[in-house]
Amino acid sequence: MNNNRLAQLRAAMKEKELDGLLVTHIPHVRYLSGFSGSAGQLLVTRRAAWFITDFRYQEQAAAELRNGFKAIITKTPYETIAEKKLIQEGMKVGFQDGYMTVAALGALRKKFRKAKFAATGGMVTQTTIVKTPEEVSAIRKAADIAARVYQEILGIVKPGMRENEVAMEISYLGKKFGSEGDAFDIIVASGPRGALPHGRASTKKIKSGELVTLDFGCIHQGFNSDMTRTFAVGKPTPLARKIYDIVLNAEQAGVKAARAGMTGKELDDVCRNIITDAGYGEQFGHSTGHGLGIEVHEQPSVSFRAEKQRMPEGAVVTIEPGIYLPDQLGVRIEDDVLLTATGCTVLTSSPRELIIV
Ligand code: ZN
Ligand code: ZN
């Protein structure tokens, strides 16, 4: 499996006439080399592959590196690369412009004045879009852990509990059930705070009669899940029920329509049209979804802007429409789906009907 990743990357390098590629984005370092630590970079050439880190990660590198990556342990990466002549005069070397700092690029250019450096944009990201069966299993496992957390959390949330207490429980339960960590900062947004699409858990106390939106994900073997559910604490208002039903209809229509070969915009339209027809188009201000895998947000984008790229079979995307009424409430429902030739497989197993706790 991992050999394919490097072979795919080398094919992309060849196309761009790159002799080497520096990979500095940590999720991509893990994806390609197997190293799961937090510091290190890769130098991939047409024939060789090096992992460069410092002494803190020596043992971990020896245990984790796969696919022919050789470890270089150094305090001064660029000097060591120069000494070992891994980047030489005339070589064209790609760098990850979305992730490398201006300072690092300046230092690199200064050190290797006779090499050429080229921005590679999403070159590595492109290779991560189509998932192998093993990668899908890892995402499914991460989604299963999240579903278990959600089931437990419904029995824990009570009026008077603070949003950040709920977030701590989610984080704790995730790890207890096998998650490697929180996929991202947990969102717990209750009552009027539900109108903030990215309302991180605050010290606000949850009141009876409010909706609560939870958005969180778990991690398995470096692969992420991402789910959102909105539920009611005590009896919801008629408005809350109405908004919930519209969002649920939109979300389910998206799941029904999703399949490989669509553009992100076509799928976005399915959800957006339902919300717009119900009169709340202006209150759905974000994209319908995003690719999911080694990163929580990756390609393909399920967006009104994604008009050209057709989503391939084997991509995993989220479907997460929402409606946000400022100072009142918000509802979002999010599932992870695997795109297939004929439709999609839903990886998120939690119930979708409005639950009242
Ligand atoms: Zn989410
Ligand atoms: Zn998401």
Q: What is the pLDDT of residue 90?
A: 95
Mean pLDDT of 152-158: 98
Residues, the chain, total? 357
Band of residue 198 on the pLDDT scale cut at 50, 70, 90: confident
Band of residue 1 on the pLDDT scale cut at 50, 70, 90: very low
Average pLDDT over all residues of the chain: 96
Task: Say how many Å lie between the CA of residue 247 and the centre of ligand 2.
Answer: 15
Percent share of the chain, pLDDT over 70: 99
Band of residue 337 on the pLDDT scale cut at 50, 70, 90: very high
Distance CA 52, CA 71 (A): 6
* Residues in a beta bridge with 230: 213
Distance CA 174, CA 182 (A): 7
Residue 312 has pLDDT above 80, yes or no: yes
Task: Say how many Å lie between the CA of residue 184 and the centre of ligand 2.
Answer: 10
How would you list the strands of the sheet with 227-233, edge to edge? 187-190, 210-216, 227-233
Q: What is the pLDDT of residue 89?
A: 93
The structural domains of the chain, ordered by start, are 4-128 (3.40.350.10), 133-346 (3.90.230.10)
Task: Say how many Å lie between the CA of residue 284 and the centre of ligand 1.
Answer: 15
Q: What is the pLDDT of residue 199?
A: 86
Residue 209 has pLDDT above 60, yes or no: yes
Mean pLDDT of 95-118: 95
Given a contact cutoff of 8 angstroms between Cβ atoms, the answer to whether 143 and 225 are in contact is: yes
Q: Which residues lie near ion ligand 2 (Cβ < 5 Å)?
A: 226, 318
Collapsing DSSP states into helix, strand and coil, what is residue 336?
Answer: strand
Query: DSSP string spanning 152-176?
Result: HHHTT--TT-BHHHHHHHHHHHHHH
Terminus-to-terminus CA distance in the chain, angstroms? 44
Given a contact cutoff of 8 angstroms between Cβ atoms, the answer to whether 81 and 6 are in contact is: no
Band of residue 85 on the pLDDT scale cut at 50, 70, 90: very high
Task: Say how many Å lie between the CA of residue 32 and the centre of ligand 1.
Answer: 25
Which amino acid is present at 286? Answer: H
* Residues in a beta bridge with 190: 212
Task: Say how many Å lie between the CA of residue 315 and the centre of ligand 2.
Answer: 14
Task: Say how many Å lie between the CA of residue 216 and the centre of ligand 1.
Answer: 6
Band of residue 2 on the pLDDT scale cut at 50, 70, 90: low
Mean pLDDT of 197-216: 95
